[in-house]
Amino acid sequence: MGVSMPGTISRFDYIDAARTMAERFAGLARGVDTQDARVTSGRGWSLVDCVGHVACEPSRYLDLVHGKDEWPCHPSFLTDIYAKQIANLPTRDTRTLSERFLTDLDELLDTVSHFGARVPMMRIGGTHRVRSDTALGILIGEMAVRGRDIARAVGEQWDIDPAIAPLVTRGGHQLLRPWADSYHCCGHNATYNIRIRHTSERIIYRFVDGRLEIDPTDPPHPDVFISVDAETVVLAAHGRFSLGSALLGGRALAWGAKPWLALGLSRRLAAARSHTMTF
């Protein structure tokens, strides 16, 4: 899967990547026969809980697109949303859930593909907005990471394509701005230049007196440069890697005038951890 040209991602890139990832996820989920086995996600979910959660997400995204629902004002509220999804599953048969997932995702992707020039915006807590097409990047990351959880639990191979990292990142950025931890960011002034390995993606995070700017038009010279593995980026979007762990394991490298700042970036974005992009 590739993008249209360096630096640009179209809605159809999101659609194609979502469809490809969905087929992989559904194929894996159909074969689950130890449904009560636990995944190692930290939520205490069983395999069928994991499949059921992902199966419910396309319909939730459709409600977000049509303004029938909104993202919560803080990511901690997603825990209750996900718990209600699992508690209200119409079935715990993974094959049936997989078919529902693909059917609902087709409807979501068809809706996104027919957007006009004015893309519908999802609401966040009534005050912020998320582009409905770019938000597919969040769903793509969800499928990739939950698929990895399931594969590890059943002993299957599951690789994360580096090409999805820019889509997951840009989707996550839609939520990162309103969800970043203002307490740990308070008074912080620094510029971070981040490169995702094996892709053309470059990201600038700039903090001005604690306020986060992403890819500002005219940023100052970075205080720290960070190079990070693409798969780690996707996993970090769901709290599976901290930058400190990535640095120690060789999955990331930091340099520049203030390389030590890299270790504090995850903390400054702590409110969004496990739900969107946090290096």
Q: List Cα–Cα distances, 62 to 93, 135, 179, 270, in angstroms.
A: 23, 11, 22, 28
Parent domain of 265 = 177-272
Residue where a domain terminates, one of 93, 127, 159: 159
pLDDT of 93 higher than 90: yes
Answer yes or no: do 118 and 49 share one domain: yes
Greater confidence, 121 or 273? 121
N- to C-terminal Cα separation, the chain: 23
Q: Residue 146 burial by CB count (10 A; 0-12/13-18/19+): exposed, middle or buried? A: buried
pLDDT of 107 higher than 80: yes
Answer yes or no: do 137 and 202 share one domain: no
Which tens digit of pLDDT belongs to each residue from 165-186?
999 999 998 888 788 766 667 8
Judging by DSSP bridges, how do beta strands 211-214 and 190-196 pair with one another? unpaired
For residues 69-73, give the mean pLDDT. Answer: 92
pLDDT of 25 higher than 90: yes
State both tokens at 265. Answer: 């970036």
Query: What are the respective helix, strand and coil percentages of the chain, to the nearest 5?
Result: 50, 15, 35
pLDDT of 76 higher than 70: yes
Residue where a domain terminates, one of 98, 131, 159: 159
Structural domain contains residue 267: yes
**Is this structure's pTM higher than 0.85?**
yes
Which tens digit of pLDDT belongs to each residue from 133-157?
999 999 999 999 999 999 999 999 9
Which tens digit of pLDDT belongs to each residue from 226-272?
999 999 999 887 777 777 788 888 899 999 999 999 988 877 776 55
Q: What is the pLDDT of residue 5?
A: 36
Name the least confident of 194-198, 202-206, 255-259, 263-267. 263-267
